[in-house]
Amino acid sequence: MRRTILGLHQRDLVNELYYERLINDVENGLVAPTNEFLAYLAAALDTTPQSFLEDNPAEPISSGSLVDLKVAEQELALMNAHTKVEVEMPEVALSFLEPFNAKPEELASELKPVFFRLRGNAHLQMKNYHLAEEALAEALQLLESQPAVNPLQVEVVRNLIGLSLYREGRTKEALKVHQKSLEAVLKNNITNRRFRLILYTNIANEHYMLGRSDLAIKIYRNDALPLAEQGEDDKQVGLIFWGLGITYKGMGDYARAALSFDRSVKLFEKCNEPKMAVQMLDQLGLTFIERSDFKLAEETLLKALSKVDKLVDPRTQALINNNLAYLYKQKGEPERALGHIEASVEINREIGDTLQLGQSLSTLADVKLALGNLDGAFKDYEEAIRWLDPQNQSYLYDKVMENYADALKKHGFLEKALEVRFSMSRSA
């Protein structure tokens, strides 16, 4: 490839119009370039558009010279949708796809799987998991039915299906899908660094969620991290240390967890990802709480709160307030905790995040118990349980049930405590 011969990275070709992921996708035939983009790449690589095309599988989109203008218009709409998906503007992406929703069969045959992949990815970003999986399954079927297809295109779609299942809480199913994709990657010798990195990271995340912490750490360190460092990809390295931090924290190895989160913060700050940096500060603060370093925890969480107030990120704002409340409760200062946890509950109600709402209501119940408000605490425990899913959020659900049962028993409500514990054991 001309770029690698010249010793250039994809990031060396980025400008105000063309971003690294787009260059990666064009080189791997996942999206067709416009003629203007093709001319830009050829000039940047000191070659001709024809030479570039001989090196890359995608045909260019003409800006008006194609005989079939209808197909050109379709390609341009999909290109626009692709761009919006990549910058996580799914509603705008769907607006570009909307003209084809009623009759996708009118799309050119080679564009149909692209259309369904983009629609599925947009719905995935919007957390419409059923719609995402439906569209992605259609894309996968179309690709696999083609006599000659780029295997990377197939596995990109399969990976998205697995990611949707994972975010939906169907972790075992997600892992099966991602392992099948990894088998295809190895069988077909797919060498795309970015895709292999994403795939290994997803598999490591799933092993962690299934309680296989040692295996998750092995995959993060031995498979994902070298690929991220090879590409000098600070964001991906930061994500891997995020996963390592979560895994170490779950194992009770708070020293390694803190080191991982701290490195992740620095990497996200370096690559100008302020929201991710704040999320890592929050995790770092929570880790300090778990190892009873309350002074450092308070400094870290208050720093995170001051930063998140400048960002439009209510979900993280709610998390930080929840963890500050947890900190002050652990320090024996429930009065200070109350304001933070009430703010967290209010935000989670506004944004409709049922998982976080269940978590924050459980913390609110703990705080009210510490303040001697038994009726209020029991009411909040019961609402928290109603918001949590005993199947896909079983660990958190059972933890809240256990706390509720312990509180009931401690205050003399033995029959109710036994009833709650029985319900908890049935959910496990």
In tens, the pLDDT along 180-239 reads 999 999 999 999 998 999 999 999 999 988 889 999 999 999 999 999 888 777 888 999
Number of domains in the chain: 1
* DSSP category for residue 163: H
Please work out, in degrees rounded to the nearest 5, the angle formed at the alpha carbon of residue 159 by the alpha carbons of 156 and 162: 155
272 phi-psi bin (left φ>0, alpha ψ -120 to 50, beta other): left
Q: Say whether pLDDT at 146 is over 90.
A: no
The answer to whether residue 173 sits within a structural domain is: no
The answer to whether residue 263 sits within a structural domain is: yes
Average pLDDT over residues 249-268: 94
The answer to whether residue 290 sits within a structural domain is: yes
Q: In the chain, pLDDT over 90 holds for what percent of residues? A: 63
Q: Where are the alpha helices (DSSP H) in 9-150?
A: 20-27, 35-44, 49-55, 69-86, 90-97, 112-125, 129-144
Structural domain range at position 291 = 233-295
AA letter at 2: R
| pTM, 2 dp | 0.70
Contact 34, 66 (CB under 8 A): no
The answer to whether residue 270 sits within a structural domain is: yes
Terminal-to-terminal C-alpha distance of the chain: 53
**pLDDT for position 425:** 44
The answer to whether residue 274 sits within a structural domain is: yes
Contact 24, 10 (CB under 8 A): yes
The answer to whether residue 278 sits within a structural domain is: yes
The answer to whether residue 343 sits within a structural domain is: no
- The 10s digit of each residue's pLDDT in 50-80 is 666 666 655 554 444 433 567 778 888 898 8
* DSSP category for residue 61: B
AA letter at 313: D
The answer to whether residue 103 sits within a structural domain is: no
What distances in angstroms separate CA 12 from CA 41, 108, 179, 333, 418, one per listed residue? 11, 34, 33, 52, 64
Does 89 or 25 have the greater pLDDT score? 89
- For tokens 């993060």, name the residue: 220
